[in-house]
Every structure is written in C-alpha cells, then in structure tokens.
A = this chain, B = another copy of it.
C-alpha cells in the first residue's frame, strides 16, 4: 500500500524553482562596499528599480523602490522613497491609517509611512508588503527586450485582470477610499496571472493639501481600469492611446463583444444620475469571476497536495536522522560496540537493506522508490516481514517492520535520555 511513483513525491520543477528564486531574492543582500542608509528599523536596503528614472513619473516626483529587512521581526518589506518631498502638514501622513486596514489578496498591504533625512534630503517613505520578483504590468506586457511582435494577450487573462481589480476596487470603495493608482506601472504581477495594486495610499498623502471629492476619485478609478485593460489589449502604452475610440475599435476586432462593452462602460463619462459602482462591475463580471474562482480553487488544491508531500518528505527525513544517529555510532555510554550489538545490529542490517540493495550480480540497485517504500513501512510499523542478511552472508533474520520500529524507538530514546535534556526538542 506504500508504493507511490517517485515523480509524485517531488514538487514540480518549475514551482520549486520559482519558490527558490523568490526566497533567494528575499534573502539577497548588496555586495559589501555599496552602502544605503538604514531607515528607522528597516536595514539592509536593496534597490528594486529596474530602470533609471526621469524626474516625472506616476507621482510627479522621483521615486525609488527598495526591499529592506525589519529589525523588529526579521521580515522583508517593500519601501518606496519619494525623493524631495517636504511634508508641510503632519496630518497628511495619517492618511495611511485607513489604508492599513485594507487587507485584500489583490492589494499590496500598506504598513506605514514616515519622513526621513537619511538620504540627505527630505524624503517620504512608504512601507508596503514585499512580493519577491514581482513585475509591473508594464514590465510584463511591454518588455522592450522582446523580439518580434508580441503575441496577443489571451482574453481570459484580461477577464482575470478585470475580475481581480474589480474585487480590489470593491474593497477599497467600500472603505470610502479610492485607489488612485490603477496604472500599468503600479499594478504588479506576483504569481502567474495574479495581480495586485502596489502603491495604495501614496497619492492620498502627496495630495493631502488639495483634497478632492472621494466620489469623483472613485469614478476615475473605473476610467483608469478601462484604460489599463485597453492599453494591454491593444498592446499600446497608455501615453500612446490618444483618442480612446480608436483603440476601442481595435480591441473589438480581436476580442469578444462582451469585453468591448465592459471596457466602454468603464471608459464612459460619468452620468450624473448613474454613477458607477464596484458592485455593479462585480455583477457584470460574474461569469468570469466564476472562472477565476475555479482556477483559484484548483490552485489551492494543488498547493495543498504539494504541501502534504513536502511534509511527508520531512517525516522521512526525521526517520533517516534517527536511523543515522544510531547506525555506525562510534561509541555510546563508554561502549564502542553499542551500534553493533543487540537491536542496533538489526537496525544496521536494515540500513543495508534499505540503502545498499544489490542485484544478483552484486551491482548496486539505486531505487529511490524502494528506499521510500521501506521507510514508509517502517514509519507505519506494519506487520510485513523482511529477511535481513549479515554482511558476511552467514546469518539471516526474519523481522517485521513493527519490530523494527520498536527497536528504532528503543535505541533512539536511549540516545535521547543520555543527551542533554535541553537538546531533546520537539523536532524528533
């Protein structure tokens, strides 16, 4: 009952690689010599910007993005420095407080904001959650080092973006806020087709002195969303879109009527009486939201399966650790023959049985499946019996996995008991 194919036991290579690269990115540090200041309790800053900025960008001021580690909890965060911003009203920075409460899978969480003189100027710093190796939608879809004509983005990807950002807007508008940053450079891709609004709260602080009606800003969010999808669908950077009717026609030629209608609705000028609402948008997107939901539930299932398997590997590793700490032990309690006598001798022969199988010609049989199956049987302590042969082939034992398990536990607890009390920890 313990046979499983070996490929089943390991994480798919691409997922493993992706997770490893992300973990490396999160742990990356600068070469010694390069120096960036620490900001409050954030240290080990590493720049995340991929391009050298001109002076004007989304925020009208140069901005710089870093990852940094918090001394408080060792976690990594994303810091955005707005260069040369002099805060004239201390109240402005409190605008981030409402944003801290917005926790949503399509919104990068706002942690805090503060001013700093550590860059030898007046800078404003926003702290957000860090998503290793994320790219902006602009970087993802308008990458310049691509050769030839970029292929059209599949319609279901556009629907998925719409569904995710509609869900984000619903949460934001419900909290009486407006996103104000729905822009291909401010929406980041963090996993396959998963997007998040990355720069929330910033505009609220920067423009605190010239407040605008929240309803008006919310209506602008819908317009920005329409423009964003239009830009990606027609492969045209926003600044080149010009009169929106033309790209909308172009979109209509490649994609469904339904998509064109949704985008038209988003772009249509607000009618006095019929303001747009995120709920309305969520209704209109219902069938596509169902597709996104199905995909997400499938991903959940896959991840759960992978996690379960990784845990199984962990269980086997602990078992091998126990076995390894008994087998070939040079001496125990003054007895240099401990590992070679009584139950420990059986466990030694079992180790040979597990790891040192040979074929009839005496050549090694390296079979991960055999190893894993043996270890699983040992762990379960089943009644199945196996033959163990001494290295000199002079004697043979018949022993069940059940007995082996008992012997392993016995020998290991001898070690544990003799070891320092404090070192016997729960990992075994």
A interface, CB within 8 angstroms of B: 1-5, 8, 11, 15-16, 19-20, 22-23, 27, 29, 32, 43-44, 69, 73-75, 104-106, 163, 167, 170-171, 191, 194, 279, 282-283, 285-287, 289-290, 292-294, 296-301, 303-304, 306-308, 310-315, 317, 324, 328, 330, 364, 366, 368, 376, 380, 382-383, 420, 422-423, 425
Once the chains bind, are A74 and B11 in contact (CB under 8 Å)?
no
23 residue pairs from A and B, CB less than 8 Å apart? A5-B74, A11-B307, A11-B311, A20-B311, A22-B308, A29-B380, A105-B297, A105-B300, A194-B300, A279-B287, A282-B287, A282-B290, A283-B286, A286-B286, A289-B293, A292-B293, A307-B310, A310-B310, A314-B317, A317-B317, A328-B330, A364-B420, A368-B425
Min CB distance, A338 to chain B, in Å? 14
Instruction: Name the residue in A163, A293, A313, A420 with the highest tally of chain B Cβ atoms < 10 Å from its Cβ.
Output: A293
Min CB distance, A215 to chain B, in Å? 21
Once the chains bind, are A1 and B29 in contact (CB under 8 Å)?
yes
Chain copies in the assembled complex: 2
Contacts of A286 in B (CB 8 A): 282-283, 285-286, 289
Min CB distance, A37 to chain B, in Å? 15
Instruction: Name the residue in A290, A296, A306 with the highest tally of chain B Cβ atoms < 10 Å from its Cβ.
Output: A290
Min CB distance, A331 to chain B, in Å? 10
Min CB distance, A68 to chain B, in Å? 10
Across the interface, A293 reaches (CB within 8 A) one of B32, B191, B296, B368, namely: B296
Contacts of A289 in B (CB 8 A): 286, 289-290, 293
Q: A298-B105, A314-B313 are in contact. Are A73 and B5 (CB under 8 A)?
A: yes
Min CB distance, A52 to chain B, in Å? 25
Contacts of A301 in B (CB 8 A): 105
Enumerate the 7 nearest inter-chain pairs by beta-carbon distance, A residue then B residue, closest first: A105-B297, A303-B303, A286-B286, A3-B74, A296-B296, A310-B310, A4-B74
Contacts of A171 in B (CB 8 A): 294
Name which residue of chain B comes closest to A289, CB basis.
B289
